[in-house]
Amino acid sequence: MSELLLDTSAYSAFMRGHERVGGAMRQADWIVVTPVVLGELRAGFRRGTRRNENERELSDFLGSPRVRLAIVDAETADRYAEIVSFLQRAGTPLPTNDAWIAASAMQHGLSILTTDPHFERVPHVLIELHR
């Protein structure tokens, strides 16, 4: 069974018709979304001119039986702290939200579906990168 954790960039690419991202999503048995990604998406919707349409599309997407929401809890926070500490020591920090997304992926043993190559800097996190 294949599961992917969806990054905000991948959701956006999918909605724009990105073939490789769409193919990866169609092949996955489960697609996992974190509350962090939902927050990033909804913040973007509020800045745009298609807020209601984007919200409806997101609601439809989340209603799919193959999509589930990851829980962010104390274990996620511990993994976040490890990732942030490691990357700060290495001098290669990530944006805060991406560190939370990576922590969720690490916690649940999921690959991150993304178009952002900076996730490659996170040790022990698998990514499926489609530019």
Q: What is the pLDDT of residue 84?
A: 96
More confident residue, 17 or 130: 17
Residue 17 has pLDDT above 80, yes or no: yes
The residue to which tokens 């698998």 are assigned: 126
Q: What is the pLDDT of residue 131?
A: 74
Kindly write down the DSSP assignment for every residue of 36-70, as one continuous string: HHHHHHHHHHHHSS-HHHHHHHHHHHHTSTTEEEP
Q: Looking at this protein, which amino acid is placed at residue 76?
A: T
pLDDT, tens digit (0-9, with 9 covering 90-100), for 29-51 = 999 999 999 999 999 999 999 99
What's the token pair of residue 10?
Answer: 């991948």
pTM: 0.93
Domains defined along the chain, listed by start: 3-129 (3.40.50.1010)
pLDDT, tens digit (0-9, with 9 covering 90-100), for 87-109 = 999 999 999 999 999 999 999 99
